[in-house]
Structures are given as structure tokens and as C-alpha cells.
Amino acid sequence: MRCSWKSVVLLALASVAIQYTAVRTFCSDPLSLLCCGRRRAPHATPPNCSLRRLPRGPRGGPEGAGGPRGARTAAAVTSSPRHAAAAAPPSPASSPGRRTHILILATTRSGSSFVGQLFNQHPEVFYLFEPLYHVQLALLPRLGQSRNPAERRVMMGAARDLLGSLFHCGLGSLEPYIQPRPARHATDKLFRRGASRSLCSPPVCEAPLEAKEQSLVLADEGECVRRCGRLNVSVAAAACRDQRHVAIKTVRIPQVSDLRALLEDPALNLKVVQLVRDPRGILASRMETFRDSYRLWRLWRATGRRPPNLDPGQIGSVCQDFLRSVATGLAAPPWLRGRYLLLRYEDLARSPLQKARELYGFLDLVLPPAVEAWITNNTRGGGGDPASRQKFTTARDSAANAENWRLKLSWDMVVYTQTACQPVLGLLGYKATFHPRELRNLSHSLVEDRTFRPAF
């Protein structure tokens, strides 16, 4: 049988095509050694090799992805459209055993200490209270509340790096910010160590509080320091690695967009709970707590005359940060979808158990009976208990406290604040008041019934 040269060429091309298809199919097989094994050429990028083919580290992410170099490597892989779907962090619903990292994003006097305790009371959560305090103190105290964009970028860069390390239990990254610097990894200067049960319990504390004295961790945080002595940062890091989840509370991150790099890190399963409160309530609480800083506001309330040198930014910056951050969160950009929950303080104060269950559901965690009992005991008021009168305590009648700012601010101050914060009040469902009698009538709530659900 005779064949023309054209037929030979066509047969050769068909043979090459068949071999190429076979190689592609073989390389897409997860067990392929040609694709991801040692036989590939040096520096060659294997086809269809996603992060799922890499050796898994002890925390569920690719080995080496915990540090900055690993994060950059993972980011480089996911930047390719071909690899995007395979490299995207799986949702907790599809990975129930995966470690969850929780960040409570709040501002001062918004109820963040209480929300933090919802995780601090969980036996499988390693909880840190305001570790970014040390970053703020080291970089100059004024940077923490600065409204200068350049200064805020300095603070945020250091804060993001530290948070990334802390979520991977790299507590040693905190040591350079603690003053004086820990000697042999031991310090007694960690900010409010007593607010964390993890740092006041074995193995971190060799002389832990007894069960009947656990309330002292909240009522008298100094008792933890007196009983436990200096904190060994290395031991605390080991205890962190033994826990299933890590939760951190901070009031030093202005907006959720400041966390984008962490939220996009495939080595982190990070979820953000943004806690907000009526700015009028925040102002009233700060006036009582930070008396020196808010001295002019207190003078205005006492005299009825607004001081000409009053700093409107003390409450205006809160409203601007809320507006930008919440608008971003509710818009649910791809990098934030399924990782952001908006929580109003007033809703939590009125229905603490219901909101706690919703919060745990968002995080795919089980709400233990011990946490439910703690919520019940700490939201019914303290009566004659001295702890209930402390300004930083979490034990109080939460429902009665939700709108009691209406009895603490003068009418002029309320009008001034709600005018300056009008956009964010509307976004969050807080009603403006238009008459002094309406302001004082606590039977009429100024909080609209709103449901904020995370977008997936």
C-alpha cells in the first residue's frame, strides 16, 4: 500500500497530538510524579499543580507558608488564574477540622471586652487581649489614634505583620515591642495579661487560679500576675499551638480594609467580627472612662456651652472609620466574602445568647454550655458586686446599658454628634432624635430592627 507524503505528515501530527493529550491527562492526576515530583526540570512550573499538591504543614497550610516568605510564595501561586480556584482557602464549612483565626475589630468603649470574653471562656481558644497596644506604644503613643494617613500606614504595617505572626502562635514576634524587652523570653509587662485565661492557666501559669477564683481574671486582673509571676513567652507560644483556635481582640485597626493582606493569605483561615456601637453611646462612655482626654466634652455638658477648642475629631474619626469599614464589609468584595460579620453592640446587649449562637455559627464553632452559663451570669447585672462598678468589667445588666447614654449626654451634644455622624447612623440603623423629650424616653428605642448577615 502506497502513502503520499501528505498522509505521512498528517499521521505524524496526529501521533504527537495523542501523546500530548496523554501527558496532560497524566499531569492532572494528583499522584503524578512527572507533574509535581522530582522528575520535573529545575525551575520549571508544573501544569495543573496547585497548593493542594504541596506537603501540608502542621497548621493545615503549605509547609513554610506561616512566615512572610511562605505567604509570598502562596500569593504568587494564587495570582495565576489557572491556579486560583485550587489555591483559594477552603471555607470552614468544607473543612470543619481546620484551625480558625478570629479577629475582633472594634473601637474603644464599644463592648469589645465582652465580645472578647465570649472566646476567652472557650476551652479550645487561645485568646489574646490587645497585643497591638505594645506596637502603638513602641511606635509613639500618638500614632495609635493619629488621623494622619502616613502615620497610620506606619502603624498598620507593623500591626499586620505582628497579627500574622501571632495567629501562627509566633508570640516571640511581640517581644521587640515590649518595654523593657523580655529577658530570656520572660516578662511581667504584657498589657492586661490577666484578661486572658490562656495566659493564667497551665502550662503557662504554674500557680493557676482555682476554679472558684476564676472570676478574678476579670474582676482583678492583677491577681493573675501575682499568682503566676513573669510570663514565659516561649511557653505561651507552645500553649497556643496546642489550642485549636486563636482569637485576638483589638481596637487599634481602624478599618477592615487594613486587614486585606491577612484575609487574602491562604495560610490563614481568618474571620473578622466587626463590633460597632451607636457613636453617641461611645462618646458618653468615653467621657466617663477617659476623663482627662474628654475634659472639654465634660465641660460642655456641665456648662451648656461648647468650648471653642473642642476637638471634633475625637468622635468624628470614629464615625468616618465605621462608615468606610462597614461599607466595605457590607459590599462583600471577593477577598472578604464569607469572612466578615457585622455585630451591633446593642443587639448583643439585648439578646446575648442568641447573638452569641449566631456569632459561633458564623465561625463554625460549637457554643459550649460553659460559655452560655458565663453569658447568663455576666449580663444580668452585678447588684452590689464591686466588680460590676469597674469601668472595664464585663459584668453588668447589658440590656439596661444598651441605650443609657441618652441620660448622660446633653441635648446639644446629641444634636452635634448625630449631625456629624449622620451617614453612619443611617447605615447602621441608629435613629436620630429631634426633641429632648424623645431623647429621654427610653421606652422608645433609637435602634432599628436590622439583621446583618455575612455574605458568602
Q: What's the sign of the alpha-carbon dihedral 390, 393, 396, 399?
A: positive
Looking at 192-312, list the stretches that DSSP marks H as alpha helix, in order from N- to C-terminal side: 216-219, 222-228, 233-242, 260-263, 279-289, 295-303
**Coil, helix or strand at residue 276:** strand
In a domain, 413, yes or no: no
Phi/psi at 99 (5° precision):
-65, 130
pLDDT 10s per residue in the chain (456 long)? Answer: 455 555 545 555 555 454 544 434 333 333 333 333 333 333 333 333 333 333 333 334 333 333 333 333 333 333 333 333 333 333 433 345 689 999 999 999 999 999 999 999 999 999 999 999 999 888 866 555 566 777 777 889 999 999 999 999 999 999 999 999 999 999 999 999 999 999 999 999 987 656 555 544 445 788 888 889 999 999 999 999 999 999 999 999 999 999 999 999 988 999 999 999 999 999 999 999 999 999 999 999 999 999 999 999 899 999 999 999 999 999 999 999 999 999 999 999 999 999 999 999 999 999 999 999 999 988 875 443 444 344 444 545 566 788 999 999 999 999 999 999 999 999 999 999 999 999 999 999 999 999 999 988
Structural domain boundaries enclosing 192: 101-278+336-399
Is 105 within the bounds of a domain?
Answer: yes
pLDDT of residue 188: 94
Instruction: Say how far apart CA 304 and CA 264 lie, in whole Å.
Output: 49
Task: Check: CB of residue 182 under 8 Å from CB of residue 175.
Answer: yes
For residue 43, give the C-alpha cell.
Answer: 525551575
Does any domain span residue 180?
yes
**172 part of a folded domain:** yes
In the three-class reduction of DSSP (H, G, I as helix; E, B as strand; rest coil), residue 105 is classed as: strand
pLDDT of residue 170: 97
Asked if residue 433 lies in contact with residue 414, where contact means CB atoms within 8 angstroms, the answer is yes
Total domains present in the chain = 1
68 occurs within a structural domain = no
Q: How many Å apart are CA 118 and CA 100, to the nearest integer?
A: 15
Distance (Å, whole) CA 3 – CA 239: 76
Q: Are 118 and 356 in contact (CB under 8 A)?
A: yes
What does the pLDDT read at residue 171?
Answer: 97
Does any domain span residue 352? yes
Would you say residue 112 lies in a domain? Answer: yes
Structure letter (DSSP) for residue 212? G
Distance CA 451, CA 430 (A): 13
Report if residue 41 sits inside a domain.
no
